[in-house]
A and B are shown apart, each in its own frame.
Chain A
């Protein structure tokens, strides 16, 4: 019997040493610092994380479209009180969505994600031989690009924002807001620097990215990652925002000359609005976009413009969150042969790619309607459309705008026609004369072409800055009312911040 006791004591001793080990378990839910940045998979997870954070920041509460399309006041919201407040430019209204959209935390997550990546990726290089120099160069360029893009996006919404380009981990310090101009100058140089290293195409035999990127083929990456062309397209937008139109023309020209190398191209009217067309999953024409690939189980009922715009008869939802009233539709779509949308002499839709149910109570803006796997099933509001920041048509029109501002109306008209001819029935002809307001026509075309892609608000600002003839809007620009208020939560957290004066 004593033997048994002895054994059980021995067992206990063994168990105890095992116990100590049990305390040292690694979490199965999160990855600790020591287990990160060691392998090429960590680098991949890191850089894809920055993309994922960007998509989340733009999709959260449908922000990209609320900032870009809803705020202009052109759409009407029948029942969502928060959207009504935004439409009437009452951004101090205390609705959760409005409050959340004035919070920039999710954009700084992109910045921090990129900072952490940039500071640690060298460790992967040091520990994993599979991680090539080229792979690291390209990854760093993407991280730099996305970080700069996040700043560009933020200054368009809030004006001056704190400028932080290191992770400062463990010693996070609050920073005051930095002037928008300084940040934009940095953004431009940073994107240029990134553009130098970015390839035209991934896994496509580009000199700057010769092998298969992370062992996936080119179709996997087409439209999903930032290319050199993407960088120049965003540069064109940055330059336009700063009214540096000679650079807009320059950067846009680069895109026009090189989009082919990225597999890009123009999109037909039909493809633009097909539920399995341009916005479906991902493709090379998505110059800078974030896909929600159906096959990747990446769709969702929110974070897509369809959530705001679609309703009966496209989906089983009684009233859309936003709609464009019939009068406005007829005003904007004034070309008779516009394949996107046009009415016949009886007031019926001749082409209804953009709008359904024109004569109903709520005309439905149905340009983008990627339901499930590109179907027309009205019953399940599960959307997979890609969030598109820019595409070739946008850049061509941006170049038209630049040329027009710079005085080259003929060049501008040519660029405009480049888009317009693709949107009208084959054989349509346009003739411009010198008295025509080409610039206005360009912005009108931008409005039509890019409707529902989060561009309109910034177009309006640029247009009014050029024209300076809308007193109300000029007042908004001059008093900083074009920006969003800074969330009161943020002001409480960081006492170096100041509220935008317009919203005090």
Chain B
């Protein structure tokens, strides 16, 4: 909070002192309001003549927009500035630019999954499934985009990555094709999107042909991502690190007679491990990034188009990762007759991703752990041989995606009918072959093909009515049907015949030559049939919606709007199929009413909206009520197909019990906001107070163990997110030669659990503790107060020493605080601490212009957020992370990198069975707040120059930028952004590199 106040005071001082000086007298610079005007898009209107053309339609949209924006606090941004950042994903473009939109970037590896949360997470993030269900809806030109479905996790022992390419689907959006981005977060604006938009909506509008100009646009940049500077360590260093524990807790260098000290550390003369640690030469590299986009616009008033082609490459600095995007987009508008408009869009992308080569991800993928007693060597020569054997195989990740719509709009005077058909289809392929040298003589091949498909039919009818010049009515009826299908085919096999046959070939002859059935039809030929596993899964999710909407405005002073929806979901139980939800919103233009003559204030709108929105379930399992499934696996072998090769059906014991009568989840949202424009439109402030009460969510309550169930999935989890979005933009200096624009956006969010199913007050789920009245994103930890250096220091009550879960504590064990004083340290002594999601997050942008020069800076900050440094915990807990053939003993090449400060931690007895370096204690909880200079760019606009020379070029803007310049943080691990959704830093995040680019934006 201190930071918040500091920022506010700074800003207030600035605006109060500096602004008036420049506001007075000097003439206003033209066009500067474009970017920062929140609800007035007036500049676009200017040159559009009112005649029968496509432009009229866009004009109408604009005028409606104004009304509508008075009801909602959506923040719209032009993409010109956003596209200066060499982002590969939409999330990177959005990060820090919109109040209330929080973006997680757990790895700098290009194309990996990034999470977005709009106004906080709507549910406790207990697993990746919850993260998937919390993502806001992205709408591209009216096409609601489909995401991946988390159902694939059902067959995965580890959820590090979803099977398949696991490519961030929102990397399929080229910012150069996008005209504007709008983030809708209040019910007034999101209600029309229905249950799919319950987590908020991000509206992307593509650059549409305007019907006037024929133009060619060319946008390109090239740059370099700079490799990080790191400190490396070798076996000798690690050995010395461990010996300190042996010195304290052993007498002869062995903790027990049968202990096996790792060979790779014990031999200090071994050059493989104890020699030069120069693996970084092969791991970190400066990497190329570039983007090129060519757009063509043409046509006439009645028929016009825009076509664009692009290629973007984003290479990671670590482990030869990268993403290549090839994109093509086509928009067309046609007006065959006066009253009918046909428009269509197709956006196609091909994404090729080079993934990291971490052992963990590979072993999780192949579902097999080889002998891990010898980790990768820190020496370049030996590491090279690993990379070499890796390169004998392949790991191809391809994603094709296509979005499009076809829309007919018929206008009969004030009566308007539109009908559109939207498609979003994306398919992912992952083909893997790992050569035998990589896995103790066993090869592995895997093929994945999966698709997500959304078809949508949407029909709307509207009628505008104006009475007595002051009463404006807009009536609208809409209906839509969305068919979602998710499917994948997946197979993997071990032990191919040799390293030359790299795919799992199947016998493709259904019949033998003599006409008889071939018994080996579809049996693998190069890989053993018995070691070939095949999976397929499919789920559908259909949504039928109706809504009615009435807008009313009185004399541009009062605005009222109401929406009533009915949504039917195939994932809801048959008896609770339909959900009815209302939304009302109102706005009051105080400027027009009371402050007409006030010169100081240019506009002042007060708005409020309240509404209820349904939240459809992600899984169709819930619709079935009590059910049967074929999941009878066990730890390490989840995908047991049956018994004695006969398929089985049992109650879903590991998924959990689902009963009847599960109602819809829904979200009750309230938003109160104000928009102010002051000082001749030079200062804009938008502030929104919101509260979102998420109701009737499902929660797996650990129970019914004596009936075999892991959990009972019950409805009734309620939580709320409450907070403030604030956006301030100011034209601090506006002289003809020099201007300075400054804008700040921030969000303060606090979440709270308000109810649990069954009226429970608290619940423990795994290592999480949910308590009514407390935030849900807190860690649940033991409080560490040092170390017992002697057995005598351990408190004794009634002759019983202090125990941890039944094990007496001894010298060398941590001093955990006995919160309830019962002389037992257990889960009841854990306390809720810290937040994994930031309390305050936002961005602070400044742009300066001097003549044709511009300078932009972009700061991004997170405050009030904590991180569990698990990577550090694992290094100290070496005893439990050594030599076993399971995930805990996997050591990446980055094991040989020194991250963080080892001296901060006490030297516990690492062999103790209480696991002194466990992560569920506050010893590893660190402050994860940070301030990051995300980008600095300098550009020169050749526009004036060209105008003088009479060259027919509309615009040439040349720029250079440095991105991810520095981070200020107290966090001792890697970049505090490189943390999973659960706030745990596993050390697996690849650095987000500093990137230098040079670019040009041209319009001919």
Interface residues in chain A, defined as those with a beta carbon under 8 Å from any beta carbon in chain B? 1, 5, 8, 12, 15-16, 19-20, 22-33, 36, 42, 44-46, 48-53, 55-57, 59-61, 76-81, 84-85, 90, 92-95, 100, 103-106, 108-113, 116, 162, 164, 167-170, 172, 174-175, 214, 220-221, 224, 282, 290-291, 293-303, 316-319, 321, 372-373, 379-382, 485, 488-490, 492-494, 503-504
Q: Which residues of A contact B960 (CB under 8 A)?
A: none
On whether the beta carbons of A317 and B885 are closer than 8 Å, the reply is yes
With A23-B570, A32-B624, A53-B632 known as contacts, the answer to whether A105 contacts B709 (CB < 8 A) is yes
On whether the beta carbons of B637 and A27 are closer than 8 Å, the reply is no
With A33-B624, A77-B258, A317-B371 known as contacts, the answer to whether A52 contacts B640 (CB < 8 A) is yes
With both beta carbons as reference points, the residue of chain B lying nearest to A112 in the complex is identified as B708
B883 at the interface (CB under 8 A from A): yes
On whether the beta carbons of A164 and B707 are closer than 8 Å, the reply is yes
Can you add 19 more A-B contacts, CB < 8 Å, to A113-B651, A318-B371, A488-B827? A16-B481, A22-B542, A23-B577, A24-B570, A24-B574, A25-B540, A29-B620, A33-B625, A49-B632, A52-B632, A52-B643, A60-B635, A84-B256, A108-B706, A110-B708, A112-B707, A282-B644, A298-B641, A490-B705
Residue-wise, chain B 350-381 has the 8 Å CB interface mask toward A (1 for contact) of 00000000000000000011110110000000
With A31-B627, A112-B707, A293-B644 known as contacts, the answer to whether A8 contacts B913 (CB < 8 A) is no
A-B pairs with beta carbons under 8 A, tally:
301
Q: Which residues of B contact A108 (CB under 8 A)?
A: 705-708
On whether the beta carbons of A112 and B651 are closer than 8 Å, the reply is yes
Can you give 30 A-B contacts (C-beta < 8 A)? A15-B457, A15-B481, A16-B479, A20-B568, A22-B570, A23-B577, A24-B574, A29-B620, A30-B624, A30-B627, A31-B629, A42-B649, A48-B648, A52-B650, A55-B643, A60-B635, A61-B634, A61-B635, A76-B258, A90-B807, A93-B913, A106-B653, A113-B708, A164-B707, A316-B370, A317-B371, A319-B260, A373-B528, A381-B368, A492-B827
On whether the beta carbons of A56 and B640 are closer than 8 Å, the reply is yes
With A22-B570, A31-B649, A45-B646 known as contacts, the answer to whether A12 contacts B706 (CB < 8 A) is no
Nearest-neighbour CB distance to chain B for A20, whole angstroms, equals 7
On whether the beta carbons of B539 and A28 are closer than 8 Å, the reply is yes
Q: Which residues of B contact A172 (CB under 8 A)?
A: 657, 703-704, 707, 712
B628 at the interface (CB under 8 A from A): yes
With both beta carbons as reference points, the residue of chain A lying nearest to B650 in the complex is identified as A49
B137 at the interface (CB under 8 A from A): no
Cα-based distance from A381 to B258 in the complex (angstroms) = 24
User: Out of A52, A78, A112, A382, which one reaches B260, CB within 8 Å?
Assistant: A78
B294 at the interface (CB under 8 A from A): no
Interface residues in chain B, defined as those with a beta carbon under 8 Å from any beta carbon in chain A? 151, 256, 258-260, 263, 337, 368-371, 373-374, 410, 417, 419, 440-442, 457, 459, 479, 481, 483, 494-495, 528-533, 537-540, 542, 544, 568-570, 574, 577, 620-621, 623-630, 632-637, 640-653, 657, 659-660, 702-710, 712, 764, 804-807, 826-827, 879-880, 882-885, 911, 913-915, 918
With A30-B652, A494-B706 known as contacts, the answer to whether A293 contacts B645 (CB < 8 A) is yes
With both beta carbons as reference points, the residue of chain B lying nearest to A171 in the complex is identified as B659
On whether the beta carbons of B544 and A20 are closer than 8 Å, the reply is yes
With both beta carbons as reference points, the residue of chain A lying nearest to B529 in the complex is identified as A297
User: Out of A22, A79, A174, A318, which one reaches B483, CB within 8 Å?
Assistant: A22
Q: Which residues of A contact B494 (CB under 8 A)?
A: 380, 382
On whether the beta carbons of B807 and A23 are closer than 8 Å, the reply is no
On whether the beta carbons of A113 and B644 are closer than 8 Å, the reply is no
Cα-based distance from A103 to B653 in the complex (angstroms) = 14
On whether the beta carbons of B707 and A316 are closer than 8 Å, the reply is no
On whether the beta carbons of B641 and A297 are closer than 8 Å, the reply is yes
Cα-based distance from A488 to B569 in the complex (angstroms) = 39
**Max count, chain A CB within 10 A of own CB: residue among B640, B807, B882:** B640
Nearest-neighbour CB distance to chain A for B660, whole angstroms, equals 8
On whether the beta carbons of B634 and A60 are closer than 8 Å, the reply is yes
Cα-based distance from A28 to B485 in the complex (angstroms) = 11
User: Out of B495, B528, B621, B764, which one reaches A29, CB within 8 Å?
Assistant: B621
On whether the beta carbons of B259 and A28 are closer than 8 Å, the reply is no
User: Out of B442, B459, B708, which one reaches A111, CB within 8 Å?
Assistant: B708
With A5-B410, A30-B621, A94-B913 known as contacts, the answer to whether A379 contacts B442 (CB < 8 A) is yes
Q: Which residues of A contact B479 (CB under 8 A)?
A: 12, 16
Nearest-neighbour CB distance to chain B for A220, whole angstroms, equals 7
Cα-based distance from A372 to B419 in the complex (angstroms) = 59
Closest 6 CB pairs of A and B: A109-B708, A92-B806, A302-B636, A49-B648, A49-B650, A296-B645
On whether the beta carbons of A492 and B882 are closer than 8 Å, the reply is no
Q: Which residues of B contact A29 (CB under 8 A)?
A: 151, 537-539, 620-621, 629
On whether the beta carbons of A291 and B644 are closer than 8 Å, the reply is yes
On whether the beta carbons of A319 and B373 are closer than 8 Å, the reply is yes
On whether the beta carbons of B646 and A48 are closer than 8 Å, the reply is yes
On whether the beta carbons of B705 and A104 are closer than 8 Å, the reply is yes
Cα-based distance from A448 to B204 in the complex (angstroms) = 72
Cα-based distance from A71 to B542 in the complex (angstroms) = 53
Nearest-neighbour CB distance to chain A for B643, whole angstroms, equals 4
On whether the beta carbons of B705 and A494 are closer than 8 Å, the reply is yes
Nearest-neighbour CB distance to chain A for B433, whole angstroms, equals 16
Q: Which residues of A contact B369 (CB under 8 A)?
A: 301
On whether the beta carbons of B626 and A33 are closer than 8 Å, the reply is yes
